[in-house]
Structure 1
């Protein structure tokens, strides 16, 4: 079983995914959406990677310039919480693929600030199929469960948190070595208010959310085919055809260049951000009622999730907060323009933006 190749430095991350090139169908967005809504699991097919227009790449480059400092501040805040919890024995386990560049940044910041060279792995977790059991068994052979810190880029409404909680509970039941494994997920941005391990609760744009594989080590979304068992790693492919436009290391190094000037109090939380009685899922339910969407999985709140929807799925419309800072939404508005997706204002309290997926009957 060969591990998937990556354009990241080998010292930054160990990606525990097997290479499945040639074994998984690659389909356009519309075909994938139809199959997904007919019951074919999204992890059994790969999307054609969105090829950014020149204008979109200009927006990405501008976002990288203007938002890398904010990203660095969130990395610093999150890293401090992780070190306070785990110390020098920290083992970062990022959730592929959006979590991988954030895990690299946290690993690098911990080395810069605290002098600890912590381990960093990237593994797959898939809604409806669970965590990569083989990868977790490989990690636990070399590390203690209590040292493991799961990490992702952001939280939308908190769906992946529930998948992780169930997966960790199953691991604890199946193997005594996982008895002290925590499912508490660390993220840079948690507008849903579902974890205490966050860099900020503001729904801001992490520049890496703008792109797919070309900012994620040229690694695809993760795959678990129906023929795969828990005795083998989940899979992915490496997009060697995009090596000439790879931005993965540029993103890492740009954010890292601000490590020496971060402000611990850069993100001052508002009352809405820290209100324990009102969570992101409450706002999602309200949106579902207003727009007649019974399946909340079709409601994708937050800057990161809305970007994903526009890059990978077929949205019905995008809702935006009237007073949202334009620097967080410019790329989203550009994608909506390119794909002819209607944009509507919505009185958000937790989020800046939300994408709603079309029903297959409308495709």
Structure 2
């Protein structure tokens, strides 16, 4: 018998809701062979610390590392210290540096070559506010890159708010990224994060016109193709991603960051496919593991059956304002039992409404993502009680 509780509706009423029986996901626990798949992982805040807006981030390291083990045990790689970890939105550089080091040490307990399991974001966020000159931006990137390379993890060159503020056009982007790529010792992943994820990145690559920005981006990739493992594109535009993918130099991967259209983009077509580096893989890791294993076996029907029920959830979690998607991801980790409290650094647990979270609850249940429905129902009742709903 499954648990039942009372949920609020968008119309202002209440309804009784019965959760589905738990699905016994058969997790392959080995990496996919035909696709590279990274889950961008969230951090678990210490619920007893002062993780209020503007305060330094205090992390529950045991729970944060346990969640990374969960992702690796699902056969996924981990992309750490990214926007899903609240970079530029509460996770300061001191905590980020410690996160990178701890995640690399944890990865080393699985494999000797850390870069086969872990990639980490390098940015310029420790510079603070302002518009520094290009040399300062390069130096800031190199400082963070050195931390990542020292651990053995792969580097992801994240988009920089400072560069977006300081650059006068495409040439400035090429100057900064060229200086970095010439000094890196191993191929990296470039990250193009759209302004729906971070409004401060509007006009990245030197133009607010996507077609012009794409030409600037491609010119850089072509100039340094041997130093680039792949590009991670988070623009939530399926057709743009496919066109870009087809124009990349041979050997440069496209890691989809499209949390709205990932099943189709990863599946691909006769002209190619996208690999994956996705925030949505954080809450749907078991489904992603099963889908990718099915694709390895050539079973596209089973691939679709695992992935398709997760799409309504993904499109809800990443709905506008998209940059608050992290709240829903941490909420689902709490409901699924991966952490003991629904608390985030920078107080970001308050960024979505109770109605938004309630709909996320429904959609996660429909996708069979609650390993213990009774725990999920108990915790959902506790949250609703704070809003006056007797569940």
TM-score by length of 1: 0.35
TM-score by length of 2: 0.33
